[in-house]
């Protein structure tokens, strides 16, 4: 009886042990990444501006508006405001289970005159490409790029009190952001991974701030102080959830057959 019990235990351990070994081998521990961030400049997603004078600049790297005099760069000309993409494109590596900062947007918030046209809406597009590096995956199709779009509505507030919402300056500008999803899921060699965009600085705004931006209560976004430079930092994280694949199921099936054979022999010998 003791020998039969030991054989039954070994059969269970063999099935589970082989399956666990296969799952561990399939898990990607480290990824190389390439990511870029651009303003969409054409079609329905092109930036729109409120009526007014001055000069509006629209490129994939920068949007700016304000005075037509002096340098068009809002970092240099305090009569212009703008939104500048920074650190794009970006590349590096990230471990499964970790997060990493990548690209960002800086708002140059100058106190420009009220007659100038100001930004109304704009759309950011980010593209993320992940490549398994530890261990490398050498078979199968390459991973498709993960593409996310963020529709941004910008409110250039009057530089006079009352602001109508809690504001650090007179008055903070307000960004509201709309997006369909900030994450994506894919499966590679029997393991499901989830990637999620991390945005430092964005959060739920109070009802008064949403109202100042003509947005519904519970809107999502950020405020930027007048006369300052504010950077919104984007990053991403990746996590793994192991799922059975056909090879793992076959190993479990082999283990179950072994269990059945041992159990049958045990009944006959009893």
Residues 179-222: tens digit of each pLDDT: 877 888 888 888 999 999 888 888 999 999 999 999 999 999 99
Q: Is residue 178 in some structural domain?
A: yes
In percent, the amount of the chain with pLDDT more than 70 equals 80
Q: Is residue 131 in some structural domain?
A: yes
Least confident span in 119-123, 182-186, 245-249: 245-249
CB 157 within 8 A of CB 202: no
What's phi and psi for 242, nearest 5 deg? -70, 140
Q: Is residue 19 in some structural domain?
A: no
**Cβ-proximal residues to 32 (8 Å cutoff; 6+ apart), any chain:** 91, 92, 93, 130, 131, 132, 133
Q: Is residue 257 in some structural domain?
A: no
Q: 229: which 2 tokens?
A: 């430079």
Is the pLDDT at 250 greater than 80, yes or no? no
Q: Is residue 258 in some structural domain?
A: no
Q: Is residue 248 in some structural domain?
A: no
Max alpha carbon distance in the chain (Å)?
A: 99
Is the pLDDT at 31 greater than 80, yes or no? yes
Q: What local confidence, expressed as pLDDT, does residue 137 receive?
A: 79
Q: Is residue 85 in some structural domain?
A: yes
- Domain that includes residue 143, residue range: 33-184+200-236
Q: Is residue 89 in some structural domain?
A: yes
What H or E segment, with its residue span, contains residue 81?
strand 80-86
* pTM, full prediction: 0.78
Please count the structural domains in the chain: 1
């Amino acid at each position: 009886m003791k020998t039969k019990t030991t054989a039954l235990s070994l059969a269970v351990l063999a099935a589970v042990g082989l399956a666990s070994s296969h799952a561990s081998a399939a898990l990607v521990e480290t990824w190389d990444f390439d990511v870029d961030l651009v303003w969409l400049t054409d079609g329905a997603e092109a930036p729109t501006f409120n009526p007014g004078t001055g000069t509006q600049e629209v490129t994939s790297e920068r949007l700016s508006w304000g005075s037509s005099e002096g340098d068009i760069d809002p970092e240099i000309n305090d009569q212009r405001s703008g939104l500048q993409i920074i650190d794009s494109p970006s590349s590096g590596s990230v471990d499964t289970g970790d997060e990493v900062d990548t690209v960002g947007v800086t708002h140059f918030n100058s106190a420009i005159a009220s007659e100038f046209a100001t930004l109304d809406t704009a759309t950011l597009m980010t593209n993320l490409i992940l490549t398994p590096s530890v261990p490398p995956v050498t078979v199968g199709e390459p991973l498709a790029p993960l593409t996310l779009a963020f529709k941004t509505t910008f409110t250039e507030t009057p530089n006079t009190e009352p602001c109508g919402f809690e504001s650090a300056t007179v008055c903070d500008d307000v960004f509201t952001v709309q997006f369909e999803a900030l994450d994506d899921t894919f499966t590679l060699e029997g393991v499901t991974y989830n990637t999620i965009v991390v945005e430092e600085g964005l959060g739920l705004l109070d009802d008064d701030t949403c109202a100042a931006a003509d947005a519904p209560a519970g809107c999502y976004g950020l405020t930027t102080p007048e006369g300052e430079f504010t950077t919104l930092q984007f990053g991403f994280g990746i996590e793994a959830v192991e799922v059975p694949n056909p090879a793992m199921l076959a190993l479990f099936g082999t283990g179950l057959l072994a269990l059945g054979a041992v159990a049958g022999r045990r009944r006959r010998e009893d």
